[in-house]
A and B are shown apart, each in its own frame.
Chain A
Amino acid sequence: MNPRAPGKDTVLIYYTNQVKSLVCYSTSQVKLNCWNCKQPLLDKPPFFCMSCKVVQPPEEGTCYFKIMDCDYTFTLDTHKLQQRYLQLQRSLHPDNFSQKSVKEQEYSESQSALVNKAYNTLLKPLSRGLYMLRLEGMHIEEGTESGADSEFLFELLAINEALDEAWTPEEANKIGRDTKEKLAELTKHIDAALCKGELQAAKALLVQMKYYANIEEKVKEKLSRFM
């Protein structure tokens, strides 16, 4: 019998928001135990053992949203993210472990680094969106874009040129404001696309966001030179 042949056993998978969010929450089914006292670890993800209070090594591949205890959504609450970041670093920072064993120092270092990475990835909409795409198995290829998007590229060229030729902070500020507006608009569209599970559309919008984020950076740089 051909095991690939569709039959009674075929499982239908419905791609809804519910299923999508499993990307982030289905990873750790294995029960972990504390490396020090061997008691089961109840927190998810476990930073410390509840029994002996000793720091734990980070779990490979833990979803950043889970680490930062945030909902798996593109429009996450950045205030909550920042709070959680400070809270985690207060307890995990290697400075707190200078009197502890080498192993604990090592674990706190890697936990703290992972928290930094998770925080920085989720903080900005662009890296957050790209990370969400990556969880869905998609990434933006290193190719060239032309032809089809020529109108968009001409628009970008015009903005870049205008910024280059801006002689006053006011001119640069105006471009900065327009770019911020554009980014806010893109954020809305990306959220809608991701909620509907339209990954290709979300990807195309994230590419646009990358170009505009570059312009935003250049505006900041230009403004700092006027100071």
Chain B
Amino acid sequence: MAATVANKCLSPLAFLIRRLSAPEFITQCCYHEKVVDHYENPRNVGSLDKRSKNVGTGLVGAPACGDVMKLQIEVDDQGKIVDARFKTFGCGSAIASSSLATEWVKGKSVDEALMIKNTDIAKELSLPPVKLHCSMLAEDAIKAALADYRLKQQDDQQEAVRASK
């Protein structure tokens, strides 16, 4: 799946490369090598069991560009994020942002993961201003996944309380 997504994203790039003889295109349009790396070799593509109570699922969309991003986290009993997966249907920057986001949340606690900011993602990938919304989408996907996980844990606790009564 990653390959097809990457392919889609590279096709506009191929078009750009043909036009790169004009120097201004290099600074304006070309993807940074880190972005290219992430969509040629996306990390942690896939799905986790969304019914599992240790898994939080975040699903977000960008109305302006029609991108869809799913990010999932798996949390162990100590509250540490042990696994993360993503599936993104969108542009190269959105794929790179979510790929990087899954790398960064792994090994963090839920609270630490909440601290990840879109500006950090954008900086790491050297995203141009017109692509900043892709990193925002990734931040929102992390937040949504963490919120889903917390909701599940709360429900679980309430059930346990009810059962003990």
Contact = CB atoms under 8 A, between A and B. Distances in A.
Most A C-beta atoms less than 10 A away, residue of B5, B66, B140 = B66
Contacts of B63: 140-141, 143, 145, 207, 210
Interface string B108-134: 000000000000000000000000010
A142 interface: yes
A218 interface: yes
By secondary structure, the A interface counts as helix
For chain B, the bracket of interface size reads 20 to 34
Given A157-B70, A211-B68, A145 B61 contact: yes
A146 interface: yes
Contact of A218 (B8, B70, B136, B144): B8
Contacts of B62: 142-145
Interface in B1-15: 1, 4-5, 8, 11
B59 interface: yes
B61 A140 contact: no
A156 interface: yes
A160 B133 CA distance: 21
B60 A210 contact: no
Interface of A: 140-147, 149-150, 153-154, 156-157, 160-161, 164-165, 207, 210-211, 213-214, 218, 221-222
18 contacts: A140-B63, A142-B62, A142-B65, A143-B62, A143-B133, A143-B136, A144-B62, A145-B61, A153-B68, A157-B87, A160-B68, A164-B1, A165-B1, A210-B63, A210-B66, A214-B66, A214-B89, A218-B8
Interface of B: 1, 4-5, 8, 11, 58-68, 70, 87, 89, 133, 136-137, 140, 144
